[in-house]
């Protein structure tokens, strides 16, 4: 088992991620279709909801990280994870006001537990296997999402009502929390000796960490919710084809996370984050925009989603790995809170702008995402040259 999953605690935490995504990723895939095509909300309203989702989520992520370091990472992870099922009731509400609120509260609970869970994974793995641990976490994370999309497509095909589809997601979300309960990670940390070499290394690492956080925030301005491509494809064909694009995204992202986490060397993490992560994400967005503006075959849109999925797999593996190497262990959850918050700050504005630009033309929104992703790739490459991961 350790050959594939590092150790049992990494496995338990990764399985928790698997079942969590098998629940809420299904909601994420169906929500834009439910809101825009079923409840008849304008697309810019979706953009506002996504902006609130990530913008206020930044506060929950930061607070969750601080509380996890101060009290208990495991307890914060359990409490936050157990509140995610709130979003499963949005279909019953079937309201332009209450449905988004339930979606948002469930997502914010998810944000509050993410830094704690990442910190537990970092503590459960030694530095030698850290990349692989986060790769496994991401692979099972989105692998669970892929399972969720498969059962969603099947149930959509058989005409199951939206309210029932949302409620079904409660089951894997409860199982997810039970796996966090089952994990047993030692949270006690020995203080590091303060030598001149360690102090200098910490200063270099801190500079790199802030560089990565800045780039993460900037990338957030381009990292829109996958609800937009789902909506673009659904409007060009039908609901099932739109949701299927999300399955492609999740599968390739899960593969990329595990593969890159196992293969990329420690000294190539930063350049890989820049090129295989941010830059590729920009190319994926551009492909989706080209699909729309030229009314090309749907395979072009799927190719764009595939490229975007691979890029996100790289990003979600390398970003937390870098943060784990460049932050003090006793403040690891807070540092992961910074990571989630910096991404969310960008996502707040990014999704708001995406919604506005999408209202005029989806092509404008995807070109915008391409340009900002390329800028993020350049920034993280420049800051990463001083990274001390030896």
User: Which residues, given as ranges, of the chain have pLDDT below 50?
Assistant: 1, 191-204, 388-390
- Whether residue 184 is contained in a domain is answered as no
The pLDDT score that the predictor gives to residue 79 is: 95
Residues 348, 55: contact at Cβ < 8 Å? yes
Is 190 part of a structural domain of the chain?
no
Residue 302 contacts residue 321 (beta carbons within 8 Å)? no
Q: How far apart are CA 315 and CA 272, in angstroms?
A: 9
Domain assignment of residue 273, given as a range: 2-179+195-386
pTM of the model: 0.73
Identify the pLDDT of residue 87.
Answer: 94
Distance CA 219, CA 315 (A): 10
Cβ contact 272:318 at 8 Å: yes
Instruction: Give the three-class secondary structure for 322.
Output: helix
Q: Which two tokens stand for residue 235?
A: 């409007």
Q: Is 187 helix (H, G, I), strand (E, B) or coil?
A: coil
Under DSSP, the state recorded for 259 is H
Sign, Cα dihedral of 32, 36, 39, 44: positive
pLDDT of residue 98: 94
Please tell me the total count of domains within the chain. Answer: 1
Residue 150's CATH number: 1.20.1250.20
Domain assignment of residue 70, yes or no: yes
Q: Which two tokens stand for residue 267?
A: 């000294």
DSSP 264: S
- d(C-alpha 13, C-alpha 121), whole Å: 7
How many alpha carbons fall within 13 Å on the CB side of residue 39?
A: 25
Question: In this structure, what is the dihedral angle of CA atoms 253, 254, 256, 260, given to the nearest 10 degrees?
Answer: 140
Q: Distance (Å, rounded) from C-alpha 174 to C-alpha 178? A: 7
CA atoms within 13 A on the CB side of 165: 26
User: Max Cα separation, the chain?
Assistant: 66
Segment 257-285, tens digit of pLDDT: 888 877 766 667 777 878 888 899 999 99
In a domain, 318, yes or no: yes
- Amino acid 261: pLDDT: 74
Between CA 323 and CA 210 the distance in angstroms is: 9
Residue 61 confidence (pLDDT): 85
The predicted structure's pLDDT at residue 360: 87
Helices (H), the chain: 2-5, 8-32, 43-70, 73-82, 90-93, 98-124, 130-157, 162-168, 170-182, 196-220, 227-236, 239-263, 269-272, 280-293, 298-326, 332-360, 362-383
CA pair distance 23, 385, nearest whole angstrom: 39
Contact (CB, 8 A) for 84 and 68: no
User: Helix (H, G, I), strand (E, B), or coil: what is residue 64?
Assistant: helix
Q: What is the pLDDT of residue 328?
A: 62
| Number of other residues whose CB lies within 10 A of the CB of residue 241 | 16
CA–CA dist 315, 321 (Å, integer): 10
| The predicted structure's pLDDT at residue 212 | 63
pLDDT number for residue 191:
45
Half-sphere exposure of residue 159: CA atoms within 13 angstroms, side-chain side: 0
- Domain membership of residue 187 (yes or no) is no
pLDDT computed for residue 52 by the predictor: 87
Burial class (CB in 10 A: 0-12, 13-18, 19+), 93: middle
**Residues comprising the chain, all counted:** 390
């Amino acid at each position: 088992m350790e050959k594939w999953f590092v150790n049992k605690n990494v496995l338990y935490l990764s399985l928790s991620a698997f079942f969590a995504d098998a629940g809420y990723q299904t909601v994420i895939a169906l929500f834009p279709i439910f809101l825009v095509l079923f409840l008849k909300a304008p697309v810019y309203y979706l953009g506002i909801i996504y902006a609130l989702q990530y913008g206020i989520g930044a506060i929950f992520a930061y607070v969750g990280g601080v509380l996890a370091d101060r009290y208990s990472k495991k307890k914060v992870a359990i409490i936050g994870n157990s509140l995610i099922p709130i979003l499963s009731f949005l279909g019953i509400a079937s309201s332009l006001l209450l449905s988004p609120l339930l979606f948002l509260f469930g997502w914010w609970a998810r944000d509050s537990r993410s830094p704690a869970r990442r910190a537990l994974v970092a503590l459960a793995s030694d530095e030698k296997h850290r990349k692989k641990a986060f790769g496994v976490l991401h692979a099972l994370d989105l692998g669970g999402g892929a399972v969720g999309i498969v059962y969603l497509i099947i149930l959509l095909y058989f005409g199951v009502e939206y309210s029932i589809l949302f409620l079904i997601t409660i089951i894997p979300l409860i199982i997810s929390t039970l796996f966090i309960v089952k994990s047993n990670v030692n949270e006690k940390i020995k203080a590091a000796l303060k030598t001149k070499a360690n102090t200098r290394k910490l200063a270099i690492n801190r500079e790199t960490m802030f560089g990565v956080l800045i780039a993460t925030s900037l990338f957030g301005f381009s990292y829109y919710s996958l609800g937009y491509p789902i909506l673009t494809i659904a409007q060009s064909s039908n609901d099932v084809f739109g949701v299927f694009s999300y399955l492609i995204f999740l599968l390739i992202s899960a593969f990329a996370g595990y593969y890159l986490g196992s293969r990329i060397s420690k000294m190539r993490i930063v350049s890989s984050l820049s090129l295989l992560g941010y830059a590729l994400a920009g190319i994926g967005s551009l492909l989706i925009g080209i699909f729309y503006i030229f009314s090309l075959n749907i395979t072009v849109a799927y190719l764009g989603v595939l490229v975007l999925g691979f890029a996100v797999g790289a990003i979600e593996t390398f970003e937390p790995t870098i943060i784990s190497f460049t932050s003090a262990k006793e403040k690891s959850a807070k540092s992961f809170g910074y990571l989630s918050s910096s991404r969310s700050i960008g996502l707040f504005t990014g999704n708001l702008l995406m919604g506005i630009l999408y209202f005029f033309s989806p092509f404008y929104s995807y070109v915008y995402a391409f340009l900002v992703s390329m800028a993020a790739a350049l920034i993280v490459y420049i800051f990463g040259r001083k990274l001390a991961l030896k």
